[in-house]
């Protein structure tokens, strides 16, 4: 990412994100709200540490000189198997005005339109009140439906109202970050969230499918939950611990991904997030079984510091690094990536 974008983001996000040279959760432990990890920050750090332990087998005797990074996920053709993760709440997570002149609407537009500009797809966040989701839905509408709204696991009729509003954005995929079920701050603000039973997920999946969209469940960390998601009719899951922001002491996503992909990968698309900072990290996740990867905090930094062009430039950096890593592991295209490239 360009140094000038990081510098401006650091100034604007002061008190919420230090934009560290290495985004690993060490400096921001317990800073929630903010961009840190919950409690000791161990779950955030586990994501980084788990990916760091994965080693690639370098191969230079092959004919994969110009790798093709394009991928197709849930019928969406992407320049590379990357999505911008759903993050919202600029004022309380990323710094408020006047220090940070980027408001919720500008942020959502930067993520959604910047991702589109780079040939990938951005996800929109959700929250208490109407500001965060409405800005997300509006940005997706402006992008011609090219975005994925993620809805919190709300209780009662409020859930269905949000799903209806998400579908009205014109999107082709709707997500639910069930890993937000433990956000007690939402309940304190009068909008409780809760875990969803398999029977409830069946109804939610049916609703989304009737709207002509695919359904993603984000926040899967066990084989058992992955199988329940497949049974419920989900089209994809995201192996995620919510960036380490909801439960202290979880493993890193790269630790649990292989078993989940092995158990459920033939029944639905397995995506993953958590600690991805480079194209090499993307390749590692793909080799561990993911079909695509979501990137969170670095995209937020790019959006705050560089707007849509900053997001697009960051994604292009990821694409270039991914292409180089593929060439150095003998991968002609995304479908050729497998566990065989791991050392």
One-character DSSP codes across 284-326: HHHHTT-SEEEE-HHHHHHHHHHHHHHHHHHHHHHHHHHHHHH
Cα separations (Å) of 53 from 290, 312, 324?
17, 29, 20
Are the C-beta atoms of 202 and 217 separated by less than 8 Å?
A: no
Cα separations (Å) of 307 from 95, 104, 105, 123?
15, 12, 11, 15
Instruction: Name 3's Cβ contacts closer than 8 Å, sequence gap at least 6.
Output: none
- Between CA 45 and CA 37 the distance in angstroms is 8
Tell whether 183 is covered by a domain. yes
- Between CA 93 and CA 20 the distance in angstroms is 16
Q: pLDDT tens digits, the chain, 343 residues: what are they?
A: 999 999 999 999 998 999 999 999 999 999 988 999 999 999 999 999 999 999 999 999 999 999 999 999 999 999 999 999 999 999 989 998 899 999 999 999 999 999 999 999 999 999 988 999 999 999 999 999 999 999 999 999 999 999 999 999 999 999 999 999 877 567 667 778 999 999 999 999 999 999 999 999 999 999 999 999 999 999 999 999 999 999 999 999 999 999 999 999 999 999 999 999 999 999 999 999 999 999 999 999 999 999 999 999 999 999 999 999 999 999 999 999 999 999 9
Domain that holds residue 272: 3-15+29-54+70-341
Q: Which residue has the tokens 């560290």?
A: 20
Q: Which residue has the tokens 């002061």?
A: 14
Tell whether 24 is covered by a domain. no
Tell whether 21 is covered by a domain. no
Query: Can you give the CATH number for the domain in which 195 is found?
Result: 3.20.20.70
Tell whether 98 is covered by a domain. yes
Tell whether 22 is covered by a domain. no
* Number of structural domains in the chain: 1
Residue whose C-alpha is closest to residue 114's, from 303, 284, 277: 303
Are the C-beta atoms of 201 and 180 separated by less than 8 Å?
A: no
Q: Give the global pTM.
A: 0.96
- Between CA 96 and CA 73 the distance in angstroms is 35
Tell whether 20 is covered by a domain. no
The one-character DSSP state at 164 is: H
Q: Tell me what pLDDT residue 260 has.
A: 98
Distance of CA 178 to the CA centre of its chain: 13
Tell whether 244 is covered by a domain. yes
Neighbours of 56 (CB within 10 A): 15
DSSP structure string for 221-237: -SHHHHHHHHHHT-SEE
Tell whether 9 is covered by a domain. yes
Inter-helix orientation angle 223-232/253-264, to 10°? 50
Q: Tell me what pLDDT residue 185 has.
A: 64
- Between CA 275 and CA 19 the distance in angstroms is 14
Q: Tell me what pLDDT residue 183 has.
A: 72
């Amino acid at each position: 990412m360009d140094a000038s974008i990081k510098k401006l983001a650091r100034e604007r996000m002061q008190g919420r994100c230090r934009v560290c040279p290495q985004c690993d959760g060490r400096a921001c432990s317990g800073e929630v709200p903010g961009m840190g990890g919950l409690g000791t920050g161990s779950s955030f750090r586990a994501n980084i540490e788990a990916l760091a332990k994965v080693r690639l087998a370098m191969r230079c005797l092959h004919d994969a000189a110009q790798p093709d990074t394009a991928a197709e996920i849930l019928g969406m053709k992407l320049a590379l198997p990357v999505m911008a993760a759903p993050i919202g709440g600029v004022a309380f997570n990323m710094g408020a005005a006047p220090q940070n002149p980027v408001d919720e609407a500008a942020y959502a537009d930067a993520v959604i339109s910047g991702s589109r500009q780079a040939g990938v797809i951005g996800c929109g966040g959700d929250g208490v009140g109407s500001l965060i989701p409405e800005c997300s839905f509006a940005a997706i509408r402006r992008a011609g439906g090219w975005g994925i709204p993620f809805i919190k696991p709300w209780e009662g009729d409020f859930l269905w109202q949000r799903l209806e509003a998400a579908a009205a954005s014109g999107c082709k995929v709707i997500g639910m970050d069930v890993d937000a079920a433990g956000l007690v701050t939402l309940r304190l603000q009068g909008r409780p969230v809760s875990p969803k039973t398999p029977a409830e997920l069946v109804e939610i999946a049916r609703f989304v499918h009737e709207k002509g969209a695919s359904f993603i469940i984000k926040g899967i960390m066990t084989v058992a939950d992955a199988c329940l998601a497949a049974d419920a009719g989900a089209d994809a899951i995201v192996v995620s611990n919510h960036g380490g922001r909801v439960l202290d002491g979880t493993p890193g996503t790269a630790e649990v991904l292989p078993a989940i992909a092995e158990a459920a990968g033939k029944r639905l698309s397995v995506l993953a997030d958590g600690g991805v900072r480079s194209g090499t990290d993307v390749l590692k996740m793909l080799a561990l079984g993911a079909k695509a990867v979501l990137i969170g905090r670095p995209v937020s930094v790019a959006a705050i510091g560089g707007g849509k062009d900053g997001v697009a430039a960051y994604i292009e950096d990821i694409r270039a690094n991914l292409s180089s890593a593929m060439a150095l592991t003998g991968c002609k295209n995304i479908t050729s990536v497998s566990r065989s490239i791991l050392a």
